[in-house]
Structure 1
Amino acid sequence: MPWKDIQVLDQRMSFIVAYRRGEDSLAAVCRRFGVSRKTGRKWVERYCESGLEGLLDRSRAPHRHPNAVSAEIVRLVIMAKHEHPAWGPRKLIPWLRRRHPEIELPAPSTAGEILWRHDLVQPRKRVRRTDPWTRPFEDCTAPNETWCIDFKGWFRTLDGVRCDPLTITDAYSRMLLCCRGLESQNGRLVRRAMERVFREYGLPATIRSDNGTPFASTAPGGLSRLSVYWIKLGIMPERIRPGHPEENGRHERMHRTLKAETIVRPMPNMPAQQKVFDSFRLEFNEERPHEALGQNPPASLYRPSERSYPSRIREIEYASEMTVRRVRTSGEIKWKGGLIYLSEALVGEPVGLVPESERHLAIYFGPLKLCLMDQSTHQLVRIAPEWKQ
């Protein structure tokens, strides 16, 4: 007769009792209970060895797992996670591999299962994302071709002081060149921070920013005093389109990591917060693997620029065919007896004017074509800024 799951132990015990009476052979008892002689002999032997406990079902899992992860590797993965709580398995395994090259480490998926079993994974809400914007990243083929600059959203330290984190990265290597907590987004403070970065790493060819202050303005060419400073150093300002942070996606991705590891829990004051920023920058550059870099840290690819910061910033010079005018303190230039307002960002700087057509003059600041001027009305005509070497 069939054995029901809820009566398995009772049926096996009844089988043993019937066999031990000795009235029937093992084969006859097996036929009566509807089991094979092999199964009947197995239950008799287990009962003789372990008594009633021998009749319980045993685990069918294999005694040995050839691909099982050792306790030592589990310990290393868990220790690495505690040391870097914000990292996932795809960061932890390359980081461990550099420190323990003699150990054969598991795949990131296996490390993820280890973290999951030990409640070290915090599920994130799935976010629908737009397709990545690739332009203009195709030109970032070497360090210092393009730097990215932005402010991470401001917050207050525990003593109530406002902190505006200024960040600068190298677009090619993802090297975090600056992470400085400022008291505001004032252009003078940003320039002072950038001078330190320029002196340490040299000058890039291009700096990419958004359209906000102090990086840009509504003046011709989008110039601000800070971008004027860049142009005098031979750096081309490059701005993303308004409302399109994905055009600076590499920098924005770094901001997400920065927020998770340094800003979610603010420090008591600005000096303490800056120490956290400095520690994050060191780890981000020297230790944190980056998937786009073949799981190497940014510092392994970055090299300082060959263009060093000058001891004296020279005034911009123009070709002989250009007419030069100096911008007055009011932001105006004088032209044919009249004053034409250009921009206060250019106060004290020379600009060059050259005929563009029979009607228009082009106004340049260094190699940057700012706008056109109608020669008959002396009105400025806004155009898309154009950089001409």
Structure 2
Amino acid sequence: MNSITQDMKYRLVKYSQKFGVTKAAIKYKTNRQYIYRWLNRYDGTLDSLADMSRRPHSHPNQHTSEEIKLISDMRRRNPHEGLVVFWVKLRQRGCTRSIPGLFRFLRKSSLMAVKPPNPKYIPKPYEQMLYPGQRVQIDVKHVPTSCIVGEIQGQKLYQYTALDEFSRFRYVEAFEEASTYTSMLFLRNMIAAFDFKVECVQTDNGFEFTNRLNQHKNKPTLFELELAKFDIQHKLIRPYTPRHNGKVERSHRKDNEYFYAVHKFYSFKDFKRQLYIHNWKYNRFPMRPLGWKSPNETLHYFFTNCVTHV
């Protein structure tokens, strides 16, 4: 690399070649041995005058050959172990090096851990519904506390959502509690609001829907009794797997982005009214899974022409 230092050395060498080493030492105020050293190194190129590395060739605390063999053998048997785990295993075999020292040696020797790729989740093909009401997903959303202001600040509000898997048509309702009783009321109102018969309802394992995960698992809830009354099948998803209720969960994410992020509620009546308006817009908005038709249009086309979006 060309530098100011190399330029000065180049002038020194050229001057000494032209006028002699003694005159060069006097002019540049240095000793003759220094000039002879650069004259011996100079081969006609400027790169030969560059400073060489001052890094020592050895160190009193460098890894011994026994330690290097131990580290290499251990890395060959443990290619995926992280730094700390690998260091602990070396200490168990008598190695006294520190973690930073081991890290520098591994990096210098290209013996860093090879992280295996994470297994990718491959979802199974989801069952496509063939007509409205074949399966309806129901879930409860807790209203963010930052949206609740005024005289009801600190109070809890809940959004019950029922989404038809075929048409994505939604029915939502506001409640001040989430219990098996409110779930029963919501189910009644949902059946009255839908213009089609519901054959199956899919929910998670929340206590407002089922007793499956508590000590009263053999006792049906009010919600399940109401389902049996209307001869509706109740399908429970796998515990702690919300993606199995993905359509209604996705709709709740859109509620967060387009509704709760920009609205405040000053009373339960105010929340109920704004939620109704938001859902009215939701059912009239085109969606890509529906062939850019809205849920209302999908239901209209199905019942008038028996045309699906699939």
**CA–CA separation in structure 1 for the residues paired with 2:254 and 2:219:** 30
- The residue type equivalent to 1:176 in the other structure is R
- 1:241 aligned residue: 238
Query: Structure 1 residues 210, 278: closer, same or farther in 2, change over 3 A?
Result: same
- 1:270 aligned residue: 268
1:209 aligns with 2:203: yes
- 1:23 aligned residue: none
Q: 1:80-104: per-residue Cα shift (whole Å, max 9, x none)? A: xxxxxxxxxxxxxxxxxxxxxxxxx
- 1:143 aligned residue: 132
Quote how far apart the aligned CAs of 1:221 are.
6.2
**CA–CA separation in structure 2 for the residues paired with 1:230 and 1:200:** 16
Residue identity over aligned pairs, in percent, reads 18
Q: Bigger relative contact order, structure 1 or 2, given CA contacts below 8 A and separation 6+? A: 2
1:189 aligns with 2:182: yes
- 1:174 aligned residue: 168
Query: Structure 1 residues 299, 291: closer, same or farther in 2, change over 3 A?
Result: same
- 2:295 aligned residue: 298
**CA–CA separation in structure 2 for the residues paired with 1:295 and 1:222:** 44
Q: Secondary structure in 1 aligned to 2:299?
A: coil
Q: 1:234-268: per-residue Cα shift (whole Å, max 9, x none)? A: 10000110111111111111000112222233311
Runs of at least 5 residues in structure 2 that lack an aligned partner in the other structure: 1-119, 304-310
Query: Structure 1 residues 245, 225: closer, same or farther in 2, change over 3 A?
Result: same
1:279 aligns with 2:277: yes
Quote how far apart the aligned CAs of 1:193 are.
2.4
After the TM superposition, which parts of structure 1 deviate over 6 Å for at least 4 consecutive aligned residues? none
- 1:387 aligned residue: none
**CA–CA separation in structure 2 for the residues paired with 1:134 and 1:221:** 31
Compute the TM-score of the two structures, normalised by the length of structure 1. Answer: 0.42
Q: 1:185-213: per-residue Cα shift (whole Å, max 9, x none)? A: 12222222221221221531100000012
Q: Secondary structure in 2 aligned to 1:167?
A: strand
Quote how far apart the aligned CAs of 1:153 are.
2.3
Q: Secondary structure in 2 aligned to 1:247?
A: helix
Q: 1:136-180: per-residue Cα shift (whole Å, max 9, x none)? A: x41522110001100012434212231111111101111112x21
- 2:93 aligned residue: none
Q: 1:12-36: per-residue Cα shift (whole Å, max 9, x none)? A: xxxxxxxxxxxxxxxxxxxxxxxxx
Query: Structure 1 residues 231, 167: closer, same or farther in 2, change over 3 A?
Result: same
- The residue type equivalent to 2:249 in the other structure is E
Query: Structure 1 residues 233, 252: closer, same or farther in 2, change over 3 A?
Result: same
Conservation of the 8 A alpha-carbon contact between 1:187 and 1:225 = yes
1:261 aligns with 2:258: yes
Query: Structure 1 residues 186, 148: closer, same or farther in 2, change over 3 A?
Result: same
Cα root mean square deviation, aligned: 2.8
Query: Structure 1 residues 131, 282: closer, same or farther in 2, change over 3 A?
Result: farther
Query: Structure 1 residues 208, 267: closer, same or farther in 2, change over 3 A?
Result: same
Question: Higher helix proportion, which one?
Answer: 2
Quote how far apart the aligned CAs of 1:133 are.
4.0
Query: Structure 1 residues 133, 217: closer, same or farther in 2, change over 3 A?
Result: farther
Query: Structure 1 residues 215, 256: closer, same or farther in 2, change over 3 A?
Result: same
**CA–CA separation in structure 2 for the residues paired with 1:139 and 1:223:** 29
**CA–CA separation in structure 2 for the residues paired with 1:302 and 1:279:** 20
Compute the TM-score of the two structures, normalised by the length of structure 2. Answer: 0.51
> Radius of gyration: which is bigger?
2
Conservation of the 8 A alpha-carbon contact between 1:164 and 1:185 = yes
Conservation of the 8 A alpha-carbon contact between 1:203 and 1:235 = no
Conservation of the 8 A alpha-carbon contact between 1:133 and 1:246 = no
Query: Structure 1 residues 209, 221: closer, same or farther in 2, change over 3 A?
Result: farther
Question: Higher strand proportion, which one?
Answer: 1
Q: Secondary structure in 1 aligned to 2:157?
A: strand
Q: 1:304-349: per-residue Cα shift (whole Å, max 9, x none)? A: x99xxxxxxxxxxxxxxxxxxxxxxxxxxxxxxxxxxxxxxxxxxx
- The residue type equivalent to 2:164 in the other structure is D
**CA–CA separation in structure 2 for the residues paired with 1:220 and 1:181:** 27
Conservation of the 8 A alpha-carbon contact between 2:128 and 2:166 = no
Query: Structure 1 residues 152, 133: closer, same or farther in 2, change over 3 A?
Result: farther
